[in-house]
Amino acid sequence: MFYREAGQFRTSYGQDSQIFPLRQDRFAMLALLAVAVVVIPYIASDYWLRALLIPWLIFSLVALGQNILTGYAGQLSLGSAGFMAVGAFACYNFMLRVDGMPFLVAVVLSGLCAAGVGIAFGLPSLRIRGLYLAVATLAAQFFIVWALDKFGWFKNNDPSGVITAQPIVILGYAFNTAQEKYLIVLAIVAGLALLAKNMARGATGRAWMAVRDMDVAAEVMGLPLMRTKLQAFAISSFYCGVGGALFAFAYLGTVEPSAFTIDLSFRILFMIIIGGVGTILGSFLGAGFILLLPIFLSVLFHAVFGQTVDASLISAVELIVFGALIIIFLIVEPHGLARMWQLTKERLRLWPFPH
């Protein structure tokens, strides 16, 4: 309805493969970014930033990682939380043990560590597929958490078994307030999201999807299955790792290995199922949805039953709602919120016509 497409035509393949082919979309995206950068930091309260926006961005990033592996390359992983943990602790140790280690470098390095671990646990994917692979990733999940837990060195032998993230300092400027942390997270996430989109729409993404949809055909066309799969594992884990680092440094501040449970891995999986498997946008929508749902529920319950509801009740309902939603989405809209959004957009473009 708000689209005015007449006169928007492409004279080169470059234009034809833009991320936002429509002027209106490009504008909307810029506006959104502008708001996120300029307006939000001023109007959003500390609570909003700390409890909602920052974790949302971080989990969007992690979901993005999961989506690259599961959604694009079709390799089911139940170990995302594990890779987050690697990132978080790697970052901590880089900052701790290397004097004057710049934060951003540490973040990248921790991502690379995660990528390395990812490749290691991705190796079985060369011989095994589907469910079998899920086991490999579970192994990653449990092994990593176990290792970080058992070996004090990772936690600088802190008796409490908890690490406390060092302050974020970039070029001598310390990012302490919620606003500052929000901005740094926003920058990193936006940047990585763009890179992911570029890969997804480029040759890299096609290779992933080819392997996902029909690996025999892909191989017969000369695609290197192993490299493609491992690449997906590495990149996915990188995103999870960076996400983990931010999780520790920009969100929680203090973390322990047991924060990265299998349960968290499942939630990340849910994010992409509900958000939209194999879409960049879906990762953001899904993360937002999964994060907001519990908050929404508790608010709802307190509104209905007053302050005296016991937490276990809410958590139980939360579990049910989560599970039910997953099943419903898988049955009704396997492509998730992103697909719904896309359909609405199509309708708007054709308005007032139905088809």
Partner 1 sequence: MTVQLHAHARAFPIGGPIIEVQDISMAFGGVKALTKISFDVRKHEVRAIIGPNGAGKSSMLNVINGVYRPQEGTLRFAGEVITGITPRRAAHLGISRTFQNIALFKGMTVLDNIMAGRNLRMHANFLEVAFRLPRALREETENREAVEEIIEFLEIEHIRKTPVGRLPYGLQKRVELGRAIAAEPKVLLLDEPMAGMNIEEKQDMCRFVLDVNDHYGTTIVLIEHDMGVVMDISDRVVVLDYGKKIGDGTPDEVRANQNVIDAYLGVAH
Partner 2 sequence: MAGFQFFLEVLVGGLLSGVMYALVALGFVLIYKASGVFNFAQGAMVFFAALSFVGFMELGAPFWLALPITIGLMALLGLGIERFVLRPLVNQHEITLLMATIGLTFVIEGVAQLVWGVEVRRLDLGIKDQPLPWLADNAGLFISQIDIFAAVVAAILVATLSLVFSRTKVGRALRAVADDHAAALSIGIPLKRIWALVWAISGVVALVAGMLWGARSGVQFALVFVALKALPVLIIGGFTSVPGVIVAGLIVGAAEKLAEVYIGPSVGGGIESWFPYVLAILFLLVRPEGLFGEKIIRRV
Partner 3 sequence: MFLKMPSDSASLDTFPKLLLHHASQRGARPAIREKSRGIWQTLSWQQLADKVAAIAAALQADGFQRGGHLALIGDNRPRLYAAMCAAQWLGGVAVPLYQDAAADELANPLRAADVTHVFAEDQEQVDKLLEILPQCPHIQRIVYDEDRGMRHYAQPQLISFVDFRKQGEAVLATRRDAVLAEARMGRGSEAAAMFFTSGTTGQAKGVVLTHTALIDRARAAAEMEGLNDEDVAVAYLPPAWIGQNMFSYAQPMVVGYCICCPESPETMLSDMREVGPTYFFAPPRVLESLLTDVTIRMEDASRIKRWLYAQAMTLARRVGAQVLAGDSVALGDRMAYKLCDLLIYGPLRDVLGMSRLRVAYTAGEAIGADLLMFFRSIGINLKQLYGSTETSVFVCVQPNGQVKPDTVGPAVKGVELSFTPQRELLIRSPGLFTEYHLNPEATRAAKDADGWFHTGDAGYVGDDGHLRIIDRVKDVGALSDGSLFAPKYLENKLKFFPYIKEAVAFGDGRDRVCMFVNIDLAAVGNWADRRDIAYTGYGDLATRKEVHGLIADCVAQANADLAREPTLAQSQIHRFLILHKELDADDGELTRTRKVRRGFIGERYQTLVDALYDGRKNVRIDAQVRYEDGRVGNVSADLTISDAKTFAPAQLKKVA
Chain residues that interact with partner 3, rule: CB under 8 A: 1, 3-13, 15-16, 350-355
Cβ(54)–Cβ(251) below 8 Å? yes
Question: Is 352 one of the binding residues for partner 1 (CB under 8 A)?
Answer: no
CB count, 10 Å around CB of 339? 19
143 binds, among partner 1, partner 2, partner 3, none (CB under 5 to 8 A by kind): partner 2
Binding mask 4-23 for partner 1 (x = CB under 8 A): --------xxx-xx------
Query: Residue 76 region, left (φ>0) first, then alpha (ψ -120 to 50), else beta?
Result: beta
- Name the minimum Å distance from CB 210 to partner 1: 5
**Cβ-based nearer residue to partner 3, 42 or 353:** 353
Among 73, 207, 287, 337, binds partner 1 (CB under 8 A): 207
207 binds, among partner 2, partner 3, partner 1, none (CB under 5 to 8 A by kind): partner 1
27 binds, among partner 1, partner 3, partner 2, none (CB under 5 to 8 A by kind): none
Question: Is 301 one of the binding residues for partner 2 (CB under 8 A)?
Answer: no
Rounded CA gap, 346 and 325, in Å? Answer: 25
170's tokens: 């970039």
* Coarse DSSP helix, strand, coil percentages of the chain, rounded to the nearest 5 percent: 75, 5, 20
The radius of gyration computed from the CA coordinates of the chain, to the nearest angstrom, equals 21
Rounded CA gap, 329 and 181, in Å? Answer: 34
The window from 191-199, 269-277, 288-296, 339-347 that contacts partner 2 (CB under 8 A) reads 269-277
CB count, 10 Å around CB of 70? 25
Question: Is 27 one of the binding residues for partner 2 (CB under 8 A)?
Answer: no
- Name the minimum Å distance from CB 214 to partner 1: 5
Q: What is the DSSP string of 96-118?
A: HHSTT--HHHHHHHHHHHHHHHH
Cβ(309)–Cβ(302) below 8 Å? yes
Identify residue 47 by its one-letter amino acid code. Answer: Y
The window from 91-99, 123-131, 182-190, 343-351 that contacts partner 2 (CB under 8 A) reads 123-131
219 binds, among partner 1, partner 2, partner 3, none (CB under 5 to 8 A by kind): partner 1
Residues that bind partner 1 (CB under 8 A): 12-14, 16-17, 195-196, 198-199, 202-204, 206-207, 209-210, 212-214, 216-224, 231, 235, 278
